[in-house]
Structure 1
Amino acid sequence: MKKMISFILAAAMSAMVAVPAFAAAPEADTVRDGENVNTWTTSGQSDNFKDKMMTMIAYAPNGEGEITVDSIQYIDQTTADASGAYSFDSYIPKDLPTAGEYTVIVGSEVLDNAIDAGKIEQIKVTDVAVTGTITTQSNAAKATIDFCAAGTTTPVVSAKTTDGAFSANVAPGTYDVIISRPGYLKYTITGVVIEDALSLKGVKLLPGDIDANNLVNTDDLTPIISGFAQKTGDAGYNVILDLDANNIINTDDLAPTISSFGQRSTVIDFADFNK
């Protein structure tokens, strides 16, 4: 602890030594899903550091560029290995740098001055809101909206409807948007270009694709007929057959399936969707 305090005092009072070979600039490691939260790694190597204690400080300089108790964003110590290599892995500043950048310095018990290790750059928060309305047999039958990288089916961001509406925060880019609910035909919009806040036109999901083969046919009617009149808690109740999510399988589930007979899942390009 004494060595850490001594280093802080020395760094606060003296000029930093720019020695890039000793300290690589901080590197962003990851982004937590949906939160724009990066972690950073600061590392370096010097023969002089072999088996020596290393100290790292990330701080937001005040107007004079000084370190203060309030300006310190992260501080840690580690021991360099036998080759003099050290690494401060996956650290997160106290406050994310969304309105500026943080200076990172590294010191060793064999150095009088701090080493300039570069800066943690400001994070650009770029997510925009995408909203829309999805119609199912009832608002209780919630739909899922998956934003997938174009040409893939793996969601980057997902949202569910509430009272038929949805809202999702999505990074600008091009996506395939897959709208689905078990027991319904999927609706896919390909090549959705998101640059700014976007309100998608309303989409109506067609009910009746019980076996999820993207076609409503007799293979879908049969299980509804077999499960007719079953309620939540009954041994034969299957939630997928309950298309309006009212806890009973009845004509309100059978009739819409008959109406959708012969229909297939929709795949439409964003340009055509907007017409």
Structure 2
Amino acid sequence: MRFGTQNGRLVLVRDDLALDVAEHSDLPSDVNAALERFDELAGWTDFSRAKPVGRLGPPVPHPRQVFAVALNYRPHAAEAGFQPPEEPLIFTKFPSCIAGPDTEVKLPPGKPDWEIEVVAVIGRGGYRIPRERAWDAVAGLTVGQDLSERASQLRGTPAQFSLGKSFPGFGPIGPVAVTPDEFPDRDDIGFACHLGDDLVQHGRTSQMIFPIDDLVARISAVCPLLPGDLIFTGTPAGVGNRRNPPRYLQPGETLVSRVDGIGEIRQTFV
């Protein structure tokens, strides 16, 4: 199953068709509320009243909690000058930064950078979820960018991670979320992003230090996970501030991020 939003309303997407769920069922149009009834949503198969898909918004426009994971790929930890962590390093992106898949992003002053991520969308959720049941709590996976303004992020001791990663438009996701059963191997998914014509990052989720089910178990051991919550699961090597010389996003550039089996998002910077 593939789901997203149009005009803030939940739609199921198949090929070039979109089905407004609330128009044809007693499920709500609000994504978070519908994900509370994930079993009913996942059982939907009737696309006879679907319409051509229009412009898609973020699969979850208003998540209540947004978790993100630092240094979850060994090559990225190495390029950043750190040892791989023994425990997940969790921070947040504030929900107001969440945006749709095809956006124009106004660059703040400083050193804006890119970080492609596979993002887990929580469905059933729960508290203290054991790892062997963690995938059951995930409604889907989507494409994300953990855009980061490095001057703000790294200012002070300790650093201001969350503020530097939460400017307007700094959390684009989409174009849809795809349920884990749709992937040949939900633990080994390829992804890549291009800045203009240049391939700047690529990797596979099988290279994570802490896989998605492990992250769900560890985070939920502290924070109850709610339907519609997002987990930005980490980025591989290739970010701009670790290049020699460093390279940062510039007005007029376009960043295209793609995850196999999901699709792509596109950000143009002004």
Same fold per superposition (TM over 0.5): no
Greater CA radius of gyration, 1 or 2?
A: 1
Using the size of structure 2 for normalisation, the TM-score is 0.26
With CA pairs under 8 Å and 6+ residues apart, which has the higher RCO, 1 or 2? 2
Pick the structure with more strand per residue: 1
